[in-house]
Amino acid sequence: MILSKAKQARFGWMQSRSLMDRDSWSQLKNDIKRFWDSLSPGDKTFAPILVCNLLAFGLWRVPSMRNMMMTYFTSNPAARIVCWPMFLSTFSHYSVMHIFANMYVLHSFSNAAVLSMGKEQFMAVYLSAGVFSSLMSVLYKAGTRQPGMSLGASGAIMTVLAYVCAQYPDTQLSILFLPTVTFSAGAAIKVIMGIDFAGCVMGWKFFDHAAHLGGALFGIFWANYGAQVWAKRISLLNYYHELRRTKQK
């Protein structure tokens, strides 16, 4: 009798615990959904980019992953593998300061860019810009015979920055920790591109000026001609699929 009651009590406690766990999980899912729904379209687009960058940043901390990260997550014209790193290096940061600075700038300009382009076009431009800026860096290093590896989202972020500055040149910007110092977006992008151009000519190596300049040029191009290119994406995709079918035959 006592054993039977003990089993019933234990079964009841397990049911109660199971219901509590289920309620807690449901509450957590609802809280996450409410938080996600409260985000702006720009923040929702920025979030997965941030997660990918954080994952790559974490992989750099794993000693056994170091060789793989050096091979695929750094862009180097002298490397055995060149193509994939031009894309993957866009999500790769080694230092805390590097990833913080890049993600801060991207978040600052992503809302305006997403509102102007839409989420799908923004992601297409961002990923394409990462590859294009890496390509400019590879070509510059190969042409000037400068060895070295590059990593980081700076080139793609420069595209977003240049696009916003070209679309809204009269917008007033300020510097972090110096909010009283303001300047127009149009003037800012001219100064930044001027510095990067000088860096390419003078051979400065502290930043990847070729990637920055390539990203900025891509952003200005998209601000002026992106709508026309985007409008033709369906016909371009159909042409691409026709080429694939022809090759398969």
Burial class from Cβ neighbours inside 10 Å (0-12, 13-18, 19+) for residue 153 reads buried
Distance of alpha carbon 123 from alpha carbon 178, whole angstroms: 31
Residue 22 has which token pair?
Answer: 């289920």
Distance of alpha carbon 154 from alpha carbon 216, whole angstroms: 10
Distance of alpha carbon 52 from alpha carbon 90, whole angstroms: 10
Distance of alpha carbon 169 from alpha carbon 219, whole angstroms: 13
The DSSP line for 114-168 is HHHH-HHHHHHHHHHHHHHHHHHHHHHHHHHT----B-SSHHHHHHHHHHHHHHS
Active site (catalytic) residues: 154, 212
Residue 85: closest CA among 197, 199, 204, 211: 211
Contact, 106 vs 160, CB < 8 A? yes
